Structure 1
Amino acid sequence: MEFRRLGRSGLNISEISYGNWLTHGSQVEEDQATACVRAALDAGITTFDTADVYANTAAESVLGRALAGQRRASYELLTKVYWPTGPGGPNDRGLGRKHIMESIDGSLERLQTDYVDLYQAHRYDHTVPLEETMLAFADIVRQGKALYIGVSEWTAEQITRGAALARELNVPLISHQPQYSMLWRVIEPQVVPVCEREGISQIVFSPIAQGILTGKYLPGAELPEGSRAADERGSKMIARWMRDDVLNAVQNLKPIAEEAGLTLAQLAVAWVLQNPNVASAIIGASRPEQVVENVKAVGVKLDAELLKKIDSVLEGLVTDDPRLTAQG
């Protein structure tokens, strides 16, 4: 495993993070989820990403039990707040002070820890003054319940405003968690330049485009049993890419992956890690062997000629409109 500094901070995180969106507490039985976490630890992954909304808080509980007994200082724990949790009361969502302060306590209890290393605003809340949100986050840091703060799927303008307020409160904003892959590059035109200026790193999710970039979906073929595209919820998330032109292009990436000595999935993860503003790529897994495979992308250097070949194959299929932030 290799490690990168998160933003303009002293926190090191693993180049590959393990995330449990759509798996723990829902799609994967707990024994299998625990096996995946153990595989991540064995592979040298020290960074674990979750959120209170995943499986309506169950994912945090599963991860807390899976990490029980590990030396707390040996791993970094990331969680998030914003989306509705619990019974859906009027203060059970968003970035108001009440929801934030109550949510961090619930997350810590479920994760069986006294603190998280990074607490993130899962989306931007247009209904709450940003000053209220940032002050609540700063108070959580000062209470020792979180060491650092970050955001997820914010626009460049929102990040700029949030970073300025965080500086005033002496609790710097150090991370942004967006969707990012060969096919989905909406952060490149505006978000990445702003984050470079503000000392903020990306911790990216869906680097293999929710399975599309593994090459397992073939044009005109039946969907693989148990795949995300065959799942009712998952199929809605990847519908935009389940087109013959995209699927054919992905198949055309195989020779490029082979040239680099990688599988398609490894190439996809390695590709996002070529961006110097990316500190870590989050992978999910339903089987331990998926963790073992994806970790092989660590430390891979893709030369400029190979990157040009990738762009040539995907020409006309890449989404890079910054207006689509938070719509991934």
Structure 2
Amino acid sequence: MTDRRILVVDDEESVVLTYVDELEQAGFRAQGVTDSAKAVELYKRERFDLVLADLKMAGVDGMGVLRAIMEYDPEARVVIMTAYGTVDIAVEALKTGAREFISKPFDMDALVGKLRSVLEQQTDEAVRGNLRDLGLASIISVNCNEMNQAKLVVRRQGRVGTIHFEGGTIVHATLDDEEGEGVIYELLSWEDGRFSLEQGVPPPKRTIEADWTGLVLEAMRRIDEGTGEWDLGWDEDEAQQEENMDRIAKALEALEGVDGVVICSQGAELLGQATEGDAIRRAMFTAFVGRRAETLGALVHGDELRQVALASRGRSTIIVPYGQNYAGLSLVERTSAESVTQGIQTVLRRYRQG
């Protein structure tokens, strides 16, 4: 008897009972429902190992169930079955996240074999995460700086985008029916969603020639234009200020050679960040930048953009004034301050402070 739990979804009760009985005889723990909305609620409550859903159902159909579950859990295993299969429907189901698309009629032993195969698919072949925890600009920066050959898949609200890396740059990207540079600008505007990164995947073709740093900066410029280029004065409410400061920090962290950014006041109050590591590391870096900013404030503040670079044990920290606050950038080992200066100036000038 296996502990793997399968949720069967079909609007015909007799079909549900048959599948549940057959799956239990095959060693699974199966449960069935005839209402698609209840199926989604049940999945959210109990998180089954696999969902087997019929395509044609009254009310919300199998594709609706698939979209709802994938939006809630992008790593879900969903298998769609139908007697009305077409190539277009199958492609749509697989693009939305279905692991398998099975046409009726089928032999029950064959179905059980398919389900076992889906359940045995390894999930540790790719690095997975949420864009709220690790921004797309940072993922791009890491893969390009490390010269990875990799495929990044990003999912959000039923949409699926891919980015292919090779030789230290982005070579191909797709989103729905689009491909090329425009896809990168769209994906970089996503602030949430799930991603999976698989190493060693060669790109199918090349549709992008531009340098990756230029793509990221252009995406930031377009975001600025779309939001009216923020005025980050103190008349904003606290939540909006924090969101804007985090966005600036993420833009700075996307620069080549930068592995962490904090924006803080002279009193070491954290205003924005894009820093990996635990809370203690972030707090120590914030305190470090705040103390140095207070000490060096008279030197670096002025009408023109200036900065101070502090080096220790092969690593550097750059402190840059930004309005009445300071941005502290931690550089990758052996990265020089001079190599990132132009990028810092470009980002901060685009995110103008009032």
TM-score after normalising by structure 1: 0.25
Larger Rg: 2
Q: Say which structure is richer in strand.
A: 2
Q: Which has the higher contact order (CA 8 A, sep 6+)?
A: 1
